A and B are shown apart, each in its own frame.
Chain A
Amino acid sequence: MTDLLFSDYLNNLFTSVYETVLNPRKRVFYGYILLALMLAACWLKWHKGQTARQIRQRLFSRSIWWSESARADYKILLINKTILLAIVPLFITKIALATLIFQQYYSVFGFPPSSGSILPGWAVPICFTLFLFVLDDFARYFLHMLMHRWPVLWAFHKVHHSARTMTPFTVLRTHPMEGLLFTLRSILVQAISIGTFLYLFGNQVDLITVLGVNVVVFIFNVTGSNLRHSHIAIYYWPWLEKILISPAQHQIHHSTLPRHFDKNFGAILAIWDRIGGSLHLSERDTELKFGVSHKVIEDEQHLKTLYLKPFGDAWRSIRRTRPTR
């Protein structure tokens, strides 16, 4: 029996690794990366007036893609898969949670409303897709904000911010403890959305997709979401940056300048930061450096530091809450 489980695990691991760049649902799907490179090239050419040679150097710089920090990104990506793949199946499934939520609605409100009484059939998939997107985006902002403000969580989220260079793969520079929280967040958001909409609209509910991907996520990805973790500071008009987080704004989030700390927690929408007071528009003329702080610590990119030190930091931050005499 354990043989079967282990070979299943290895199978899933293998699939998971090559799926990283082959699955359109993933941020680093090779198609999205290619598009991001093209967008960056266009930006550098037409907005910054750079030559083809300069663009090539900027986009494919070895000092970015093969820096010590980037190498740590790649190692973390692979190691995380082995860990998370073993743990995530132990969670409640989204389908079980969605069913629970659905049944709760039933217990409280009785029989669902009849088909078409709230919204016409054609509007339901649109509403569901939008609701899921908005709830998911808010949940990402909120959890991200907590990860900065709550010392115990910051101990683990620091790992992501310890990146000195940024490539699209930096999005997967995550401590496993963070990964667990992100997974739970995702399960909760999807279960609430499915359970609620299924109760209200029954089998009219559907997800609008492109290439099997949620249409909003798809649009986000083909319009350069991968540029958020890059050194190409693409910015939007100020009015747009109050609605959507630009790559430049996310790079500010990673900046080592103290005035940039705890800003721009948002994923796609900027409105949550605006409401929460953490919105920071892009600074066109500021050259940014990335990391937790400007001071470089010698073993900060070592796996031991990245995986194990956060536990010690988290423990110490809890202990600090003890009353002092």
Chain B
Amino acid sequence: MKLKKIVSAVALASLATFGMTAQAGEKAYADFPVTVKDYKGNAEHSVSYGGQMARHVLHTSLKKLAGQGNGQANPELKAKMMAYFEGKDAGRDIISPATKGAFVIEQTKVDALSKKKNLAGKSYKGAVTSWPGNMTGAEVLAFMIDKASSADKGYDKVNGLDYAQLISKFAMGAVFYNQAVDNYLDEKLEADTKPNDKAYKEGKPYTGKEHVWDEAFGYFGTPAHTLSLTPKQAYSIAKAKEDALALADADKDGKVSLYDEMVFAHAYYAAGADKSGKTNYLHTITKAFIDGRQLITDAKGEKLSDAERTKLKGYAAVIAENWEKVIAEAVFKYAGSTYKDIEALNAALENKGDVSKVLRKYAKHWGELKGFAMALQVSGKDLGATGVQLNRLIGFSPVLLGNTQVTGIDADGNYVQGNTVTLDEYALNMLKVQQLMVDQFKVEARSKDVLASMNDLVKKLGEQAAEAEND
């Protein structure tokens, strides 16, 4: 009798646990079985992307450090930042994200996610034409780190540059986006590299293709159970809001694991855009990742057939296309914010109010705009005329009072300023940036649309239609 009770209790408990972890029936990027044919170890599943999550926390920690300067040259801060950018030392703390109130975070050391990882080695290797100096991605970031370390809380007042924003937004592009769409979802899907009929590395429980796909997924920065979250919920997780713990904690252990339960990088921006209700980037991208992973699993450790590879590349194309749009939406949004800041600046100047606060906001939004615009151009795909236009419209710094702007860097790495356009013309440039994002990338969320009222008016006046009424 007692045994019966115990067995029933255990059965009920496991049913309940299963119910809780089943995530309302939505598929998670998890629990894909081992398909490596001669695997002898005891791993229960083949999913692994710790290295990517280590790089996410390196990035978020670097961003935090970028805002800690005191306005003087600071070799100690620079060394610390470089440790997170270039270094591979053991023992690095996760500076951000950290436990905040009820939002308890599981890991506190980078090594808990993965050891010996850095950002520099995985940065875009081509020339970054959107930044002066003809530097590679890693060189641009190192340059920004150097400047940030001696800036006052990361803000260079003279040139209008907010390094925390620039470093963060560009690094997300140069490392995460580039690695995912130009490496793992591109060359690494071919037949002659990281094949699916062999372990990725001797002794590993995942095949070449399984791991390649996992790494791309990791770089996107979305939790494994994303499909059971709404964009609004994902957004609140990224912000580490108090009530977001329950949403994030998929395995109900009372903590948020930075490995597979946290929202990072572009996944956060996808959720942000989707909150408008006009887009569905987060789920579209996540589902494509999950479907692709399932396809690879279904190959049961054999080489992918041509048909399977074509289908997988189809998923990769969906991911790349939507990921690009997420970044374009961010460019659109921050162009709108920058426009509004210029408006506020004009108003403050007219009313002889305090411009320093407005200038700070202006620099912050511009840094976000510029960082995302730079990220858009490091996908490995040449954006051609669009890229040139984008860079010319935005320039190398915001247009400052006095209508000057950074026009380049001299041989010693100092910024050079000159007269380019007036502040008014620059505001118009921001509108043109928004127009460019609409025309070239078909963005739909369109947050901070300066010409939103135009769209509303046109809707009221009626869609474009033939006028056959003869008076």
Contact = CB atoms under 8 A, between A and B. Distances in A.
Contacts of B346: 111, 114
Interface stretch (B99-107, B223-231, B457-465): B457-465
Contacts of A144: 471
B423 to A, nearest CB: 8
Interface string A80-120: 11001101110101110011001100110011001000000
Main secondary structure of the interface of A (DSSP, over half): helix
A281 interface: no
In this complex, which of B423, B424, B425, B466 has the most chain A Cβ atoms within 10 angstroms of its Cβ?
B466
Contacts of A233: none
Main secondary structure of the interface of B (DSSP, over half): helix
Interface string B424-443: 11011001100100000000
B460 A194 contact: no
B457 A206 contact: yes
Contact of A103 (B431, B457, B469): B431
Interface stretch (A42-50, A60-68, A176-184, A312-320): A176-184
A203 interface: yes
A160 B471 CA distance: 9
B12 interface: no
B428 A212 contact: no
A312 B171 CA distance: 66
Interface string B320-353: 0000000000000000000000110011001000
Interface in B14-33: none
A95 B467 contact: no
B469 A102 contact: no
Contact of A185 (B343, B432, B467, B468): B467
Contacts of A89: 464
A189 to B, nearest CB: 10
A194 B460 CA distance: 11
A14 to B, nearest CB: 14
A172 B468 contact: yes
In this complex, which of B346, B428, B457, B458 has the most chain A Cβ atoms within 10 angstroms of its Cβ?
B457
Nearest to A204: B453
A172 B470 contact: yes
Contacts of A110: 422, 424-425
B466 A179 contact: yes
Nearest to A225: B471
A178 B464 contact: no
Contacts, number: 109
Interface in A149-174: 157, 160, 170-174
Interface in A181-219: 182-183, 185-187, 190, 194, 198, 202-203, 205-207, 209, 212, 214
A252 interface: no
A27 B431 CA distance: 37
Nearest to B451: A99
B455 interface: yes
Nearest to A140: B471
A114 B466 contact: no
A267 interface: yes
Contact of A178 (B343, B458, B470): B470
A187 B464 contact: yes
A25 interface: yes
Nearest to B351: A114
Contact of A81 (B347, B422, B455, B466): B466
Interface residues of A, number: 55
A95 B467 CA distance: 16
B470 A182 contact: yes
Interface in A1-39: 16, 25-27
A87 B342 CA distance: 41
B470 A160 contact: yes
A89 B423 CA distance: 37
B454 interface: yes
B1 interface: no
A107 B451 CA distance: 16
In this complex, which of B424, B455, B457, B468 has the most chain A Cβ atoms within 10 angstroms of its Cβ?
B468
Contact of A198 (B342, B347, B457, B462): B457
B460 A212 contact: yes
A25 B463 CA distance: 11
B468 to A, nearest CB: 5
B3 interface: no
A88 B470 contact: no
Contacts of A170: 470
B307 interface: no
A198 B454 contact: yes
A198 B451 contact: yes
B389 to A, nearest CB: 14
Contacts of B435: 99
A85 B466 contact: yes
B350 to A, nearest CB: 7
B452 interface: yes
Given A114-B347, A194-B458, A203-B452, A91 B422 contact: no
Interface in B238-295: none
Contacts of A186: 467
Given A114-B350, A144-B471, A172-B470, A99 B454 contact: yes
Given A98-B454, A203-B453, A206-B457, A84 B468 contact: yes
B470 A98 contact: no
A178 B347 CA distance: 48
Interface in B86-125: none
A207 B461 contact: yes
Nearest to A194: B457
B467 A106 contact: no
B452 to A, nearest CB: 7
Nearest to B467: A182
B70 to A, nearest CB: 36
Given A106-B424, A207-B457, A111 B343 contact: yes
Nearest to A159: B470
Nearest to A228: B471
Given A98-B458, A99-B435, A174 B464 contact: no
Interface of B: 342-343, 346-347, 350, 422-425, 427-428, 431-432, 435, 451-455, 457-458, 460-462, 464-471
Given A81-B468, A198-B451, 10 more contacts: A25-B462, A81-B466, A98-B454, A157-B470, A174-B468, A183-B466, A185-B467, A198-B457, A207-B457, A209-B460
5 contacts: A88-B466, A89-B464, A106-B431, A111-B424, A182-B470
4 tightest A-B CB contacts, nearest first:
A84-B466, A182-B467, A110-B424, A203-B453
